[in-house]
């Protein structure tokens, strides 16, 4: 991997991913909307680009992606944001990033989604949660329809625990949790694994080393 463009580089998973990429010797550019957040990218040895994906046009985003070998969409409006921002960040930001990647000639696109977003929402779910699920679900569906070399990673509940390097990966899993560090390590491995292109999987803590879990997934996909 020559260079990875990370959308939403201030997020906690993205921060862990930058650490992993730095340790691997990979180059990365982090896209953030706040100048203060860019300091975190420089601290990890990356290049920072100030760009608000809610207001930036596709051409500006394509320029930011130019020269990259992959795009990782890690942006999210956050749990305390309103319904409108779920639509403009989690959904609209992803769609804009997908379009910009194609315009920039960057085929590889990894999207961080969430477990269970294809399932029906509980009748008593909050308006904010319903909007979040819809945004993630619809962004994933749009990505699957593109010609990009996509992978959709759907982690369970995210924790701040230290990573173990042991995970469970499958198209569908029972609900569970996973440290953000392990999510980042899975994404880094996915970027190095062309066998994961055009695959979507759930991800929680488990008993298999990351490389083995991904290999089992790709073998199952080949058989299927």
pLDDT in tens, 75-134: 987 766 678 888 999 999 999 999 999 999 999 999 999 999 999 999 999 998 999 999
Evaluate whether 191 touches 110 at the Cβ level (below 8 Å): yes
The highest-level CATH class for domain 3-155+180-201 is alpha beta
Alpha helices in the chain (DSSP H): 12-24, 35-43, 58-65, 83-85, 92-104, 127-144, 180-191, 210-223
Q: In a 10 Å sphere around its CB, with 0-12 CB exposed, 13-18 middle and 19+ buried, how is residue 79 labelled?
A: exposed
Global model pTM greater than 0.75 = yes
Phi–psi pair at 145, nearest 5 degrees:
-85, -10
pLDDT at 39: 82
Evaluate whether 76 touches 56 at the Cβ level (below 8 Å): no
Reading the block at residue 163, the tokens are 């990573």
Reading the block at residue 102, the tokens are 């194609």
Positions annotated as catalytic residues are 132
Question: Does the pLDDT of residue 168 top 70, yes or no?
Answer: yes
Q: ∠73-26-16 over CA atoms, to 5°?
A: 50
Measured CA to CA, the distance from residue 177 to residue 158 in angstroms comes to 6
Every domain of the chain and the residues it spans: 3-155+180-201
Q: Which residue has the tokens 């990647």?
A: 101
């Amino acid at each position: 991997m020559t260079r990875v463009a990370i959308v939403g580089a201030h997020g906690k998973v993205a921060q862990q991913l930058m650490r992993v990429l730095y340790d691997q010797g990979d180059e990365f550019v982090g896209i953030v909307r706040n100048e203060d957040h860019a300091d975190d990218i420089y601290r990890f040895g990356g290049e920072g680009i100030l760009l608000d994906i809610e207001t930036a046009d596709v051409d500006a985003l394509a320029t930011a992606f130019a020269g990259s070998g992959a795009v990782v969409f890690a942006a999210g409006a956050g749990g305390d944001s309103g319904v409108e921002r779920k639509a403009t960040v989690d959904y609209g930001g992803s769609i804009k990033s997908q379009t910009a990647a194609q315009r920039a000639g960057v085929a590889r696109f990894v999207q961080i989604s969430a477990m269970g977003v294809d399932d029906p929402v509980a009748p008593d779910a909050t308006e904010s949660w319903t909007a979040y699920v819809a945004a993630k679900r619809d962004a994933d569906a749009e990505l699957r329809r593109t010609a990009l070399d996509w992978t959709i990673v759907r982690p369970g509940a995210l924790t701040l625990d230290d990573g173990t390097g042991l995970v469970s990966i499958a198209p569908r899993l029972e609900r569970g949790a996973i440290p953000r560090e392990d999510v980042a390590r899975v994404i880094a491995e996915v970027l190095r694994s062309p066998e994961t292109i055009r695959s979507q999987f759930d991800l929680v803590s488990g008993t298999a080393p990351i490389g083995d879990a991904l290999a089992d997934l790709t073998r199952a996909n080949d058989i299927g």
